[in-house]
Amino acid sequence: MSGTRAPVLSVAEAAREIVAALDRAERAAVVTIVSGPSSEPLGRRLLVTLGSAIGHLGIPELEERAQELARECLETGERELHPVTVGGDVWELYVESHVPRPDLIIVGAGHIAQPLCRIAAMIGFRVTVLDDRQEFARDERFPEAARVIVMNPDDPFRAVPVGADTYIVLVTRAHKYDYDCLRHLLNAGLRPAYVGMIGSRRRVRAVFEALLRDGIDPGQLETLRAPIGLDIGAETPQEIAVSIAGELIQHRRGGSGAMLAEREDLLGRVKRKQERGHHGRS
Amino acid sequence: MDDRDLYLALLETARRLQPLALATVVRVKGSTPRRVGSKMLIDGEGRAVGTIGGGCGEAEVLEAAQEVMRSGTPRVVRVDLTEDALSWSPAICGGVMDVFVEPVHASDAGGEPRGPRGRSSRSGRSGRGSDRAAAG
């Protein structure tokens, strides 16, 4: 791990260390010299993780600044080019953060969970599938999952830590189980990034009524996405998985979920502009 | 494909001793198709993994990658997509992006830093990502 004496940290060595850090659920920051007065140091890089720094840039003043930038970047998660002046020369340092994949916990290993697990892995989630039924919670049914776990319905999240960057999708076989999981999350005071629950209008309403009757603070329910998913008219389990995946992306990246064509109305704008041009000439 | 997937592809390809170049978008101005940090891995035959532009401006980078593999010297390639705005390219692009293209030395991926290469070091590395990659 300590490669500080190695002359240069290569791309492949850095790649390996970054993957290892991400798999330990740790952040990593890399600072690379991308331009400067001489070509020789280009591509030299410094890799900083929580507990270590490897590689070096070979120019002490640059190195000092790079260390600072890397530490900042570990906090902010940014990716940016920074010009640094050393003795009249301008160098450009590219600073890049690597943040572990967010966790997606799918509760209920049924017909929606299977396509959802596949899509979610594809769009950058580390997927965990939970079910209390051993015959459903099987690795071979979820080849793209990082973990498939047989859960104890009395304590569903015991084996899976729920953090501020965890996404939870409740798609169990019956609303009673969704309700139990939700109650467990709320009572444990867990604050995941996202919680969505599947269900018809009637059933979701019944869950809300029951939770409020139990004395759950309504403010706690406001962030719950139920019924889960974007409105794309999904019918099959695969289509519903796409609708849920769309909402996961929308939540993570901050989109509105609206149709771009409708929102931008570029045709309307072009038409109005042309009409104005017409009037201007006549 | 995220960076982790791309790095796994990089390590896998480099292990087969093939020449490679890594292209990273380091600066964007205007409306570019991909963001800073987008990456593309290019091999000696011009095949690519990942994307830095969804087709836009990639030809210039592919060309630069071959040159970088030959010379061994990294460089920044400026890709101007504003001229493409009215062409019938498959993706609508605009803006300018700077792409850092650097060589990936095949021998780099053979083992642990400073460690021996070959089977023993491969088995020594299991438990640190390579096995997790297979599971994930």
Question: What are the tens digits of pLDDT across the range B98-131?
Answer: 999 999 986 555 444 333 333 333 333 333 333 3
- pTM here is 0.73
Structure token pair of residue A74: 């570990």
Facing A20 at nearest CB: one of B75, B104, B129: B129
Residue ranges per structural domain of chain A: 11-98, 103-253
pLDDT-derived band at A4, boundaries 50, 70, 90: very low
Which of A169-173, A185-189, A211-215, A278-282 is least confident?
A278-282
Whether residue B92 lies within 8 A of chain A, CB to CB, comes out as no
* Lowest mean pLDDT segment, chosen from A71-75, A130-134, B65-69: A71-75
Least Cα separation, residue B118 to chain A (angstroms): 16
Q: Which chain A residue has its CA at the smallest distance from B71's CA?
A: A39
DSSP 8-state symbol, A151: P
CB atoms within 10 A of CB A219: 7
Q: Cβ A12–B35 below 8 Å, yes or no? A: no
Percent over 70 (pLDDT), chain B: 67
Number of Cβ pairs < 8 A linking chain A and chain B: 89
Smallest CA–CA distance, residue A99 to chain B, in Å, is 10
Helix (H) or strand (E) holding B103: strand B96-104
When comparing pLDDT for A277 and A268, which is higher? A268
Q: Determine, for residues B109 and A19 on separate chains, whether the beta-carbon distance falls below 8 Å.
A: no
- Give chain A's length: 282
Supply the pLDDT for residue A5: 45
DSSP E strands, chain A: 28-35, 45-49, 53-54, 79-86, 89-98, 103-107, 126-131, 147-150, 166-170, 194-197
For A41, half-sphere exposure in the C-beta direction (CA atoms, 13 angstrom radius) is 20
Among B2, B37, B8, smallest CA distance to B23 is for B37
Question: Which chain B residues contact residue A18 at CB under 8 A?
Answer: 3-4, 7
B129 touches chain A (CB under 8 A): yes
- Asked if residues B30 and B2 have their Cβ atoms less than 8 Å apart, the reply is no
Determine, for residues B129 and A15 on separate chains, whether the beta-carbon distance falls below 8 Å: no
Would the CA dihedral through B59, B64, B65, B66 be positive or negative? positive
Q: Pseudo-torsion of CA B1, B4, B6, B9, nearest 10°? A: -120
Put simply, whether B94 touches A (Cβ < 8 Å) is: no
Average pLDDT taken over every residue of chain A: 92
Number of domains in chain B: 1
Q: What is the span of the domain harbouring residue B63?
A: 3-135
> Do B113 and A20 count as a contact with CB atoms less than 8 A apart?
no
Answer yes or no: is pLDDT of A190 > 90: no
CATH architecture of A103-253: 3-Layer(aba) Sandwich (3.40)
Confidence class of residue A8 from pLDDT cuts 50, 70 and 90?
confident
Contact check, Cβ <8 Å, B102/A42:
yes
Q: For residue A39, what is the nearest residue in chain B, using CA coordinates?
A: B73
